Amino acid sequence: MSKILVFGHQNPDTDAIGAAIAFSYLQNQLGKETEAVALGTPNEETQYALNFFKLATPRVVRSIKEEGAQVMLVDHNEFQQSISDIAEAEILAVVDHHRIANFETANPLYYRAEPVGCTSTIILKLYKEKQIEIPKEIAGIMLSAILSDTLLLKSPTCTSEDEAAAKELAAIACVDLTSYGLEMLKAGTNLSDKTAAVLLDLDAKSFPMGSSNVRIAQVNTVDLNEVMMRQKELEEAMTNEMSKNGYDLFILIVTNILDSDSELLVAGRELEKVEEAFKVQLMNNRALLKGVVSRKKQVVPQLTAVFN
């Protein structure tokens, strides 16, 4: 039998990659034979963390059928965010911090979901529960995941558990939490050399809402204008993606990691529902959302309530 594959969602972010690496290592210490893989190439922020802690970049897989493997999922559960043939896979475990939707299995499984800011915070608990020592490099990638998902512990998704976990992991990894985290986040804001299509796919997820298929992408920056000056190019790419993939609505969230604000760029049908969800008026298909940085907590629930 092939190794059990451990992976996060499509368009992987630092938590999707880091949680897969950390959970795979834990399972191997517990006697299982697993491999951390990815459903896409790591972004620049994640690659910075991997390089900093001298960890190998997980290989990218495209099909479970080709691998002939059982799987464990981290940082996601919704099938449309997973590998294309996930419905045919035997899922042994899920560790996640998102909503549970569009998920079912034929057999019982281990499922751990908690309302914290990052999957890696949950995985730290699992190491403690199993009394497994965390190597420095594994602590480093878990710390990176927490700092990424919580924007240096400033996101509204961040809990006291995430803060405690980050401090504990920073000590094991022997890094200064703030200075390392800022350098890592800045590594992911180099957007000028990327096409609009690439920008829209860096961190994008699809969500069924009512009878609509909503695509929500997010990019981090230190200068909102740097991204928004490319509005025409971005709108053309968003329209193209909707036509190709059947999305009814495409929302791009451009987040300033220094000011903790975001600007929306919206394309598609039912724009009035976006206005209703965020209590704003779109001007030229755009709106500034003060204090909004979290897609999971400040965007998806609000949209879902309106669409449903």
Q: Do residues 21 and 55 touch, judged by C-beta distance below 8 A? A: yes
Confirm or deny that 76 is annotated as ligand binding.
no
d(CA 262, CA 283): 15
Q: Is 98 annotated as a binding residue?
A: no
Distance CA 12, CA 239 (A): 23
Task: Give the span between the Cα atoms of 165 and 293, in whole angstroms.
Answer: 21
The backbone torsions φ and ψ at residue 216, rounded to the nearest 5 degrees and listed phi first, read: -125, 115
Element (H, E) at 5: strand 4-7
- Tokens standing for residue 292: 């909004």
> H/E element holding 177?
helix 177-187
The Cα 273–Cα 264 span in angstroms is 13
Q: Is 97 annotated as a binding residue?
A: yes
Residue listed under structure tokens 């451990």:
6
Tokens 């020592």 — which residue? 133
CA distance 144 to 148: 6
Establish whether 13 is an annotated binding residue.
yes
Tell me the CA distances in angstroms from 160 to 48, 116, 153, 168, one per residue in order.
26, 9, 9, 12
Return the closest-CA partner of residue 37 out of 16, 18, 58.
Answer: 58
Annotated binding site for Mn(2+): 9, 13, 15, 75, 97, 149
Annotated binding site: 9, 13, 15, 75, 97, 149
